[in-house]
């Protein structure tokens, strides 16, 4: 299966590859403009025929007279097996360039149900209920990746580029720090490509974690610093459970991470971060307006949290920009708990509906693993 082309910044789902010709990925050089939805016409440089790539969705940074530069050549998408450390890729949803550091094997709990009846505003399901349907997890591959910092400004309105946060190693129990440009990517979101550049990704950790080795494929191998950092931070980086549910063609995916425990006012405070991705699977334009959380702790407390939007935003989900991803944090004075809830979504006609946030566990089973190393090697 031959390689195919895509311009950098494009949001795409490739469904067909041309078997005869190679297509290049083009990059907008020094573009400072925002993303603009469009449907480019692909043309093979060898035969001049259009349609070598059959796109489902597209987004691109607007060139505005900028020069397009070749950044790489597409490779075949892997239907089986996993991508190796050093694999270059485009994110099929958010369009950024990245490189794989190492894989995670997670348990995916996909509820994929639509409520038969609308939920009342005061509905309070016990953890894990959601129609009392038992959901069994299946193994799914995710990847720890570095994001090219040149692409971060273009995706900042659709996805947070500080997806990994740690508890600071000092007495302030609420202090957090983040590693910019570090993300978790599902296997199906990887669009692999290769490049002749020895430093194809701009990120401050690229050359500390990876080295160029033309004898290998992909030609980037892990340095000892990456292996040591992964081993030291494994408990705080590990992606173990992924929860997914679709309501009214809006899919919500939640990934929780345990961060550790700190003491505050003679009590233990347990911290978690959680990453949420919303995807609009329809052609309808909708906007997230409100969030409604239920947080249950092992101590028997049930907390309700309501508010406008998420992380200070009320994202619009459209056919051209169908997804939004963010991270947040929660703390409990108990080692275990559950979270579940709803997002209120508004249609263009002003009507509203609620979508479910799948229930997920907050577990603290890694307290004996020491403190996160962060940038320390």
pLDDT > 70: what percent of the chain?
Answer: 69
For the entire predicted model, the pTM comes to 0.77
Give residue 352's pLDDT. 97
How sure is the predictor about 58, in pLDDT bands with cuts at 50, 70 and 90? very low
Q: Which among 360, 325, 304 is positioned nearest to 96, based on CA atoms? A: 325
- With residue 153 as reference, give the H or E element that holds it: helix 152-155
Q: Which among 343, 356, 322 is positioned nearest to 159, based on CA atoms? A: 322
Round to whole Å and give the CA distance between 41 and 299.
58
The string of pLDDT tens digits covering residues 219-240 is 999 999 999 999 988 888 888 8
CA angle 206/210/213 to nearest 5° reads 130
The string of pLDDT tens digits covering residues 5-56 is 444 433 333 333 333 345 566 554 333 333 333 333 333 333 333 333 433 3
Give residue 53's pLDDT. 40
The string of pLDDT tens digits covering residues 163-199 is 677 776 655 545 666 788 999 999 999 999 999 999 9
Give every CB contact of residue 216 below 8 A, 6+ residues apart in sequence.
86
Question: If you write DSSP's letter for every residue of 95-122 in order, what string do you get?
Answer: --EEEEEEEEEEEEEE-----SSPPPTT
């Amino acid at each position: 299966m031959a390689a195919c082309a895509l311009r950098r910044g494009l949001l795409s789902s490739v469904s067909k590859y041309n078997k005869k010709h190679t297509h290049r990925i083009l990059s907008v050089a020094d573009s400072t403009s925002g993303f603009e939805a469009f449907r480019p016409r692909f043309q093979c440089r060898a035969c001049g025929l259009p349609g070598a790539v059959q796109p489902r969705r597209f987004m691109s940074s607007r060139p505005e007279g900028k020069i397009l530069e070749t950044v790489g050549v597409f490779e075949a998408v892997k239907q089986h097996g996993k991508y190796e450390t050093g694999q270059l890729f485009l994110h099929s949803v958010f369009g950024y360039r990245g490189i794989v550091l190492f894989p995670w094997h997670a348990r995916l709990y996909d509820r994929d149900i639509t409520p038969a009846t609308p939920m009342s505003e005061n509905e309070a399901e016990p953890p894990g209920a959601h129609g009392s349907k038992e959901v069994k997890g299946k193994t799914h591959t995710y990847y720890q990746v570095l994001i090219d910092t040149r692409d971060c400004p273009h995706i900042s309105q659709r996805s947070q580029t500080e997806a990994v946060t740690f508890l600071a190693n000092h007495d302030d129990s609420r202090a957090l720090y983040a590693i910019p440009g570090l993300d978790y990517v599902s296997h199906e979101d990887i669009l692999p490509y290769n490049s002749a550049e020895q430093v194809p990704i701009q990120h401050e950790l690229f050359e500390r974690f990876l080295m160029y080795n033309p004898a290998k494929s992909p030609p980037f191998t892990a340095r000892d610093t990456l292996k040591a950092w992964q081993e030291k931070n494994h408990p705080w980086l590990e992606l173990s459970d992924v929860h997914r549910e679709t309501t009214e063609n809006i899919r919500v995916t939640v990934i929780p991470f345990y961060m550790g425990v700190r003491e505050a006012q003679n009590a233990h405070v347990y911290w978690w971060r959680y990453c949420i991705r919303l995807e609009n699977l329809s052609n309808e334009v909708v906007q997230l307006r409100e969030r409604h959380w239920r947080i249950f702790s092992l101590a028997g407390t049930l907390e309700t949290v309501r508010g406008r939007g998420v992380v200070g935003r009320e994202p619009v989900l459209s056919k051209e920009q169908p997804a939004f991803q963010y991270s947040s944090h929660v703390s409990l004075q108990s080692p275990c708990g559950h979270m579940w809830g709803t997002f209120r979504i508004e249609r263009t006609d002003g009507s509203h509906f609620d979508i479910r946030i799948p229930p997920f566990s907050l577990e603290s089973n890694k307290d004996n693993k020491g403190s996160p190393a962060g940038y320390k090697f």
